[in-house]
Structure 1
Amino acid sequence: MDATAGPAGKSRGRRRERAAHRKLGRPALIRRWLAALTAAALCAALPALGAGSALAAAPAAPAPVATAEKTSTQVDDFRACVAGGGATDILLLVDESSSLQGTDPENARVTSASYLVKQLADFATGSKADLSVAVSVFAQGYSRIDDWTSLDNTTLPGVQATIASLKDRVQGMETDYWTALDGARTELAARAAARPGTQSCQTLVWFTDGAINYTIRQSNEDKALFGAAKPFAPDVELTSQAAVEQVRQLAVSDICRGGGLADQLRSSHVSVFGVGLQSGEPSDFSFLESVVAGKSTSDSSECGKLTAPIPGEFHLATDIDGLLFAFDGVSSPKSRAILQTSGICQVAVCADSAHRFVLDQSTPAVRVLATADAPGISASLLDPLGHLSQLPRTNVGTEVTLAADGSSLKYTWLSEKTVVISMAAGAGSKSWSGLWQLAFTDPAGQSGGKPSRSSIHIEGSLKPAWLNPAASPLHVGEKIGNIQLGLLDAAGNPVDPGSLLGDVKLTASLVGSEGKTMVVADALGKADIAKPVTLDLTGFSVGAAELKLDLAITTAPTTAGGNPVPGTALTPALASVPVNLLPPAEFPVVGSKIDFGQMDGTSQASAALQVSGAGCVWLAAGKSPDIVASPAALGKVTIGLAKASGPESCIKVKDVNSLPMTFAADQPDNGSVNGRIELMIAPDGEPGRALPVSVAFTASMSKPLNTTNFLLALIVALVLGPGIPLLLMYGAKWFVARIPGRVLSGEIIPVTISHQQLLRDGQPFVIRDTDLTDLVPMKASGSRSLTVAGIELRAKTGWSPLGSGYVAVLAPARYGVGSAAPAADRRGLTPRLPLAVHNHWVLLVDPMGDPASASVLVLTAGDASPAEKKDIAADIARRLPLLRERLAEAMRAADVAEATTPGQVPGSGPTASGGAGGFSGFSAANRGAGPGGFSGFGGASPDQAPVPEPASGSQDPQVTSPWGTPPP
């Protein structure tokens, strides 16, 4: 084989004692190889891996210790979801506390996370998977530091650059698990809600170097900068050690109570990979492990009630090599790695410490992450034909490519002890199928008894599938024959099981919405997979279900040195197929899930539940929602369906295509509400035949900003804390309050609403190819004001010195609401958007026009793909009719019967309530400033930074916005 590398890879003569192991083809090396193979054959040992006289005296090589996880986990469900084609979100949540300066001075977390996204990009590029990643940080707070990115090899450099910036993020003062998890929960819930009708596969990769802890606020400056209290403990100020301990206990309690934050993530089908870095002073990670995995192995403490299946995986690392293995656990989203533990060869390459795996034609690629617990090691790889590849160490991070026999081999030393090897089969390669062996050697012979370990990712080209899902509708109570299961290759083409050289076993199970499980096929072998099976739906309930497929694969056995070698048992290939179990044909069919989206500062929301067919639907009388997980202070939750509380007031399905569902709670709180509600369905005129349908629902909530506490903190800071550079804080916020300089397209599209359906020119709403073709002129550095189709987008700072700014959408003589928080002003009439307006939209309504008519301002990134535009269109079609109803409620609440003066911005006149932040103690958002002046906290003049105005003695009446209190 020929080796090629960059300049760093040309350091072959650094250590004379390793020279024989670095250069291939030397006569002495060949003689040692022949001697080793002969000795191995005479001893009837397992095939030798390499050279070295020590091999001649070696006993038969024992099999390396392999770790196989049999227990079903929520991580397996995530992998099955990915294999089933779901949209995948992976959120990296990384600690930025100041302790990292001591625990991770070499930035091992950055190296490991960069390795992870590199493998994920390779996976997404090769499989064409819909996989997105984002990076967030936490300490005393939570923030996402980059947009969600559709990951592949073209977008990888940008993601790795974001990860590289983590090196400088080590100034945090706390390790606030609650805030970290709640931020991640909110982030992932928003992603799932934006994809109605699409299966979401979501996981959280969570890294920290310490246990949960909080810090005393030593001064008024600390209170103003970091907050005096936490959202989950608003009445406890962090001003003493006793208060700090009380807050810590409250956080632990709210995370781990039944239905608490941990259960909210689990019931939202978010799997968690937790990584704890143990370096220097030992940290207690037992609580972290219980949050991630449901139970701590060290003290058996449990967290939450949803602990089966096991909700996540926890890894403890002490150095860069441990971190690499921890992050490697999620690097192949569709399957688990095969874990092996072995030894280290002393002085010469040996057989008894090799890591071994068998490949065949069903395994076109493999990646091995391997490490040895010794300095100065070398690595060697033997292929099935006996060709030896030495893997000489290069500079850390330098990739080296080897090529022979049509196959490819790449390796990279990630640290002094850890190497990653990637191999792919070439067309017609003769050396691919058979036994491969990898060994580490310590030339100094000083590491006897120390371990080596490997994480082997063998990419199987086979996946299980339901081949004819459209052949028969699945009606409960019936037996559905001719269900055809089978195997597909990586390109999605059917594979004849009989053509495989290895062994396969296919198992299929149907899991209903209430947990009822039926085995459809049990370990079908190659001869039986093609035979049709039957689904017996007797006893199953109407609603969402899942067909789980499990394909166990063992590669073909082989021989080496005349001795038989069994094939390698791969980790099962999993797939999850969502199905809808239907009622009898004359009944209506309702959707499987209601997503009420994000509620900011409010406890009420609306959503549409799809319905089709004919018949009648109503809410089951006397049935309260079954709440699986929810915030603690939420109070009573009520799910409504218009006035359809019985068969006499049911909704006729022939008149609608969606059901208007409502959500209400006693009060807002922080967290997710997940549960199920029971609806009744019946044929027209036959209420006596009614059937119950259990429908899942979800909602994400956040408390409103406590304006009283904020004002008190501000006053205290101004009066008692003269050292706080408040003007600098406001100035900094003003400086960054810009619409990002990313290419932008915008267009206004007229729409109508009929029976809760959004129409465009009388047809279901779509974004056409001819839309969004013009770009909006803007500066590369960002803009404070843009005009799109006659509508001004103006960046505002808000009245708090903390948090983010926003964009006010100034549409003359129209009211509206934005598609993302902060959505609207306090009255709920003037639309707002986040500063990053790209890929968002705004509903606009003329109060004097037809109530069924509206306009939507669509703002997309100039490089948005057709798929992204399709997703935006789907979001508009799903949410706009409901937002129109809420906007009408806001208009009625604000008593806007008086005609709006043409050209006047609704809500900006002299009677407008509230400032830019929606709090009327400060200047109004759109109240103009004098020349060279400022418009108060609400919006600075474009050329000057904002200065806070003193609160006036009088205030306009407060009107509660149906959109909730905007963030500061």
Structure 2
Amino acid sequence: MTRDRTLPRALLAVLLVLGLGVVLAVPAGADRPSRQADEEDGSGDEADEPSDEGDEGAEGEETEVDPFDRLAGCVGASGRLLVVLLVDESASLRETDPDDQRVVAAQVAVESLDRLREGEGDAAAIDIDVLVSAFSFDFAPVGEWTPLTEDTRAEVDEQVASLADRDASMDTDFHNALDGARRALADRATETTAGAGGEVCKSILLFTDGNFVLGARDTPEKQERYGLTKDYAPDIELVDQDAVSEVTRAGIDALCREGGVADQVRGDRITLVTVPLGEGADLLEALTVGRSPNRTCGDPETDTPGVYLPAADTAELLRTFDLVGSRIGGGSLTGEPVRSVPCADVCEEASITFTVSSSLRRVHVFAAVPGDDGRVVVVPPEGDRVEIANGEDGPDSIGGVSTGVARLTDEALTIDFDVPDDGTGEGEWTVALVGSGDVPGSIHVLTFSDLVATLSGDSVLRLGEPGTLSATIATRDGEEADEAFNEVSVTGTLTDPITGAVVPVELEVDDDRFVTEHTVERSVTAASLRVSLRMEAVTASGARISSVSPEVDVAVLRPEGYPQVAPPRLELSSITGDGKAKGDLSFVPADASGCAWLDDITVRSAPSEAGSFTIEADGIGRGEGGCTPITAPLTVPVEVDASSRASGSVTGHVRLYLAAEGGEDPIATDVPFSLEMARGVDEAKRLVLAAGLMLAGMLVPLLLLVLINKMTTRFQPLGNVRAARVPVVVGAREQMFRIDGRGRHVMSLVEEDFSSLEGKGGDRSFTWGGLTFRARTPLNPFGEPHATIEAEGGADGVAREGRRTDLALGLAGSWLFLLDQDATREASERLSVPGQASSEPPEIHGQLVAFVSEEAAAAQTARVFHDVVERLPATARRLSRLARK
């Protein structure tokens, strides 16, 4: 099934560009006891955490959106997710987690992400990239960003497994850890959205066993390994306890002050999930959700809080990470998790009972039961109960339902029931902890459903006038639901992207759909509101279903007579280095004549180092005196630029004014946007540095340039590229044909010829279709990095390396021709006329290799084919002549 990742459009715009420009600029805008130093022979100091209580009795109560629901809605809408697994590597783990349960827990989370990536039932597959990283005194990635695929899953598991050996470092520096993770997410998001734009969802899964702790560098070895200073306190050397206390306070301040790292993580719309081992800490809770009982960290009223889930012990750690991964994957808890001492037989207090119906696609159970005689008992609605003893594997099916039992440890397992759609397994199930031990075990059950509340296409919102939102219950791929319900409710939230205000709505049953009437206040300036729906239902068989729909931007239409903005969100490409973000503003005329002008750009959140932002727009005036008539659909190209390099997410809006004929007041209309920034390589600074170094000596700067080129020589992410390899022949009169097992055909290049390069290799080399591509750095420091391609039977003499040819690292939109000398020679011998010498072979045989973008495959295929038709015959002749020399 092909995923449609475009959001519904309320109106249609057609390209029409007028020659008018405008440039605007604006500024960017109870704890655990003090832990000993993490190094075995070191010492540490935990900063005093002053109470920073805010106004607890603030008037009004905003609707809170569950962070997991927010992330699931984002993933459902965009189809892209970036996850950093951020795991503590301090030496205290040798005591708090001697059995490396954190590693098993992280593997459990990866397993849940892999299920989400594959897609289940009617759920579409998701593009997921994972970065495994440790942290202590600094952010320390274990490997590189890895697209999660069937081929790369083992690689990710190996990276996670390597964390077991990382438990001997110093410090627990949340500032450096989260800042490093945030920057890594920003850089990756910029790569994945380059050219195509769009939203990418981001999350950090943070595990730690302590609070913000630094240690004294009291030996030369520690000073060399961990450094003497921190970036947030560069003038204080960490040589004694007084310095440690002062720097720790500075680190917490840099983390929690207004605009600090905690706010930057939330501003980048990263869902932070923190799992501390033990009792947790006020600081950890506050930096995750904004506030804790005794302090705040960053903006306590943030609209993007994280999730704080302390685990009392290592056994509970497994359950918590399983819960996190399953919730990110769209699972809904059935009842409350159970933590209880096992009973001698099935009992209510050590069990969970749930109902299964065919509307569920999967049921996921986590169970841990301590003790040598501990066992998990499953009682299906029909058939014999099944007991799974500790250390044993489980059956392939229970009660006629296919099951997958994964043994995490001798005492913990997960069971996944793949629910059939023929009614098998419907009814009441029980999972219980049984044994004679007196140590508590735990169970939780999550359900996954294909049914969601889907917003209808006729839903409309109007400024200052009643509008209607309607929804139906359908499968995730749009098929009408045939399930019978005893109870069903649909609720939702309308989020203003300009102010962050969230308005709850409840949809009422109206025949076969759910409807609510909503009036958008005249004071609202947003061009659209983001709508998220939640469905809660009980099926006729008693199964409880809970699901969150993908988020949708719904346009807020201006009153009759005013031009409209469509789409109501400005889609911008990413900014790398000194580049610019590009996009289009589109307008649709009213029945009567109207006009519009661009007023300003406002940045709501951005990396602090980004400086000011400017917007350039061609085709629309600024100010009421330059109000541009909108008499036909109009598309205005815009460019957004930042004054300084930075890494992170940028959100904000462009203010437009829409005016109607007849003297009505112009209406302020704010079009929201978001984009990703990556610092990239500063070419200007690199050249300045090189010029300065050349004054002292020629060799050193040249070597430095080669090294910098080497570090930055990479292919674009392979998951964003599709490739095709087509056998072709060029005739004497420049005719071109493609060849397959059935013979020759008129030359063509279609989207079906291409396949994804995801999982074919890394960012420096990959192998596909019998070809090996390698990113190469030229010895000439001012030369362009390029790719070399090695192929069996390639063209001799085309390059110095023999059977090789060169290609730019930006693969999408490019093509190359690989000459087949043997086939060309055979054709010459077969087709040549005796006695007539010819300088050109009658036919030239070879392979056309082409690349297109995953996000714009159809359009780029057409452009590449047009270029091939124009240039391939001449290219083939030139290569043929070179090969004969």
TM-score normalised by structure 2 residue count: 0.65
Cα distance change of structure 1 residues 336 and 746 upon mapping to structure 2, 3 Å threshold? closer
Superposed CA offset, 1:900-945 (max 9, x none): xxxxxxxxxxxxxxxxxxxxxxxxxxxxxxxxxxxxxxxxxxxxxx
* Structure 1 residue 383, shift from structure 2 partner: 1.2
Given candidates 482, 485, 501, the residue that maps to 2:471 is 485
Given candidates 337, 350, 363, the residue that maps to 2:333 is 337
User: Which residue of structure 2 lines up, in the alignment, with residue 249 of structure 1?
Assistant: 249
Secondary structure at the residue paired with 2:391?
coil
User: Which residue of structure 2 lines up, in the alignment, with residue 464 of structure 1?
Assistant: 453
User: Which residue of structure 2 lines up, in the alignment, with residue 384 of structure 1?
Assistant: 381
Superposed CA offset, 1:642-664 (max 9, x none): 79431334567769633323334
- 1:209, 1:474 → 2: CA distance? 48
More strand by percentage: 2
User: Which residue of structure 1 lines up, in the alignment, with residue 125 of structure 2?
Assistant: 129
Q: Residues 146-225 of structure 1: matches in 2 within 5 Å?
A: 146-151=144-149, 155-169=152-166, 173-174=170-171, 175=173, 176-187=176-187, 189-190=189-190, 193-194=193-194, 196=196, 198-214=198-214
Secondary structure at the residue paired with 2:553?
strand
Does structure 2 conserve the Cα–Cα contact (< 8 Å) formed by 1:72 and 1:310?
Answer: no
Cα distance change of structure 1 residues 321 and 417 upon mapping to structure 2, 3 Å threshold? farther
User: Which residue of structure 2 lines up, in the alignment, with residue 870 of structure 1?
Assistant: 857
Secondary structure at the residue paired with 2:785?
strand
Cα distance change of structure 1 residues 424 and 194 upon mapping to structure 2, 3 Å threshold? same
Does structure 2 conserve the Cα–Cα contact (< 8 Å) formed by 1:112 and 1:323?
Answer: yes
Given candidates 312, 336, 348, the residue that maps to 2:307 is 312
- 1:79, 1:837 → 2: CA distance? 34
Does structure 2 conserve the Cα–Cα contact (< 8 Å) formed by 1:406 and 1:429?
Answer: no
- 1:230, 1:600 → 2: CA distance? 27
* Structure 1 residue 456, shift from structure 2 partner: 0.7
Given candidates 494, 508, 520, the residue that maps to 2:480 is 494
Return the letter of the residue paired with 1:340: P
Return the letter of the residue paired with 1:367: H
Q: Is residue 2:112 matched to residue 1:116?
A: no
User: Which residue of structure 1 lines up, in the alignment, with residue 139 of structure 2?
Assistant: 141
Q: Is residue 2:657 matched to residue 1:680?
A: yes
Does structure 2 conserve the Cα–Cα contact (< 8 Å) formed by 1:408 and 1:425?
Answer: yes
User: Which residue of structure 2 lines up, in the alignment, with residue 512 of structure 1?
Assistant: 496
User: Which residue of structure 1 lines up, in the alignment, with residue 287 of structure 2?
Assistant: 291
Cα distance change of structure 1 residues 838 and 102 upon mapping to structure 2, 3 Å threshold? farther
Aligned residues: 693
User: Which residue of structure 1 lines up, in the alignment, with residue 408 of structure 2?
Assistant: 414
Cα distance change of structure 1 residues 205 and 783 upon mapping to structure 2, 3 Å threshold? closer
* Structure 1 residue 419, shift from structure 2 partner: 2.0
Structure with more contact order per residue of length (Cα contacts < 8 Å, sep ≥ 6)? 2
* Structure 1 residue 671, shift from structure 2 partner: 5.0
- 2:310, 2:299 → 1: CA distance? 20
Cα distance change of structure 1 residues 573 and 130 upon mapping to structure 2, 3 Å threshold? same
User: Which residue of structure 2 lines up, in the alignment, with residue 663 of structure 1?
Assistant: 641
Return the letter of the residue paired with 1:81: C
Secondary structure at the residue paired with 1:437?
strand
* Structure 1 residue 361, shift from structure 2 partner: 3.3
Cα distance change of structure 1 residues 691 and 240 upon mapping to structure 2, 3 Å threshold? same
Superposed CA offset, 1:257-282 (max 9, x none): 2233222332332211112234xxx8
* Structure 1 residue 388, shift from structure 2 partner: 0.9
User: Which residue of structure 2 lines up, in the alignment, with residue 274 of structure 1?
Assistant: 274
* Structure 1 residue 693, shift from structure 2 partner: 2.4
- 2:712, 2:624 → 1: CA distance? 56
Secondary structure at the residue paired with 1:657?
strand
- 1:741, 1:308 → 2: CA distance? 32
Q: Is residue 2:522 matched to residue 1:543?
A: no
Given candidates 597, 611, 615, the residue that maps to 1:618 is 597
Does structure 2 conserve the Cα–Cα contact (< 8 Å) formed by 1:681 and 1:693?
Answer: no
- 1:220, 1:740 → 2: CA distance? 42
User: Which residue of structure 2 lines up, in the alignment, with residue 355 of structure 1?
Assistant: 352
Secondary structure at the residue paired with 1:493?
coil
Does structure 2 conserve the Cα–Cα contact (< 8 Å) formed by 1:588 and 1:682?
Answer: no
- 1:434, 1:446 → 2: CA distance? 31
Q: Residues 595-744 of structure 1: matches in 2 within 5 Å?
A: 605-614=580-589, 616-620=595-599, 626-632=602-608, 639=615, 641=617, 644-649=621-626, 657-665=635-643, 671-682=648-659, 689-698=666-675, 700=677, 702=679
Return the letter of the residue paired with 1:619: L
Does structure 2 conserve the Cα–Cα contact (< 8 Å) formed by 1:357 and 1:437?
Answer: yes
Q: Is residue 2:551 matched to residue 1:576?
A: yes
Does structure 1 conserve the Cα–Cα contact (< 8 Å) formed by 2:381 and 2:399?
Answer: no
Give identity over the alignment, percent: 20
Superposed CA offset, 1:61-110 (max 9, x none): xxxxxxxxx96323321123334564333332333455545544433222
Return the letter of the residue paired with 2:127: L
- 1:633, 1:704 → 2: CA distance? 15
* Structure 1 residue 329, shift from structure 2 partner: 1.9
Given candidates 515, 518, 537, the residue that maps to 1:553 is 537
Superposed CA offset, 1:301-332 (max 9, x none): 44334434643333335315423423432324
- 1:306, 1:75 → 2: CA distance? 18
Superposed CA offset, 1:520-546 (max 9, x none): 544x35x75526554544535441312
Secondary structure at the residue paired with 1:495?
coil
Cα distance change of structure 1 residues 511 and 182 upon mapping to structure 2, 3 Å threshold? closer
User: Which residue of structure 2 lines up, in the alignment, with residue 953 of structure 1?
Assistant: none
Return the letter of the residue paired with 2:785: A
Does structure 2 conserve the Cα–Cα contact (< 8 Å) formed by 1:464 and 1:575?
Answer: no
Cα distance change of structure 1 residues 256 and 198 upon mapping to structure 2, 3 Å threshold? same
Q: Residues 42-81 of structure 1: matches in 2 within 5 Å?
A: 72-81=65-74
Return the letter of the residue paired with 2:638: P
Secondary structure at the residue paired with 1:263?
helix
Specify every segment of 5 or more residues in structure 2 that has no aligned partner in the other structure, as ranges: 1-62, 694-702, 725-748, 789-806, 816-848, 865-885
- 1:381, 1:455 → 2: CA distance? 13
Return the letter of the residue paired with 2:143: I
User: Which residue of structure 1 lines up, in the alignment, with residue 777 of structure 2?
Assistant: 795
- 1:700, 1:304 → 2: CA distance? 23
- 2:641, 2:217 → 1: CA distance? 38
Superposed CA offset, 1:204-235 (max 9, x none): 21223443345666799988876665555555
User: Which residue of structure 1 lines up, in the alignment, with residue 6 of structure 2?
Assistant: none
Does structure 1 conserve the Cα–Cα contact (< 8 Å) formed by 2:369 and 2:375?
Answer: no
- 1:863, 1:208 → 2: CA distance? 47
Return the letter of the residue paired with 1:356: T
* Structure 1 residue 256, shift from structure 2 partner: 1.9
Decide which moves more: 407-416 or 653-662.
Answer: 653-662
* Structure 1 residue 389, shift from structure 2 partner: 0.7
* Structure 1 residue 783, shift from structure 2 partner: 7.3
Return the letter of the residue paired with 2:273: F
User: Which residue of structure 2 lines up, in the alignment, with residue 476 of structure 1?
Assistant: 463
Cα distance change of structure 1 residues 871 and 159 upon mapping to structure 2, 3 Å threshold? farther
- 2:233, 2:647 → 1: CA distance? 11
TM-score normalised by structure 1 residue count: 0.60
Does structure 1 conserve the Cα–Cα contact (< 8 Å) formed by 2:368 and 2:441?
Answer: yes
Superposed CA offset, 1:642-695 (max 9, x none): 794313345677696333233344x55665443334232346998963543243
User: Which residue of structure 2 lines up, in the alignment, with residue 587 of structure 1?
Assistant: 563
Cα distance change of structure 1 residues 368 and 772 upon mapping to structure 2, 3 Å threshold? closer
Secondary structure at the residue paired with 2:325?
coil
Secondary structure at the residue paired with 1:211?
coil
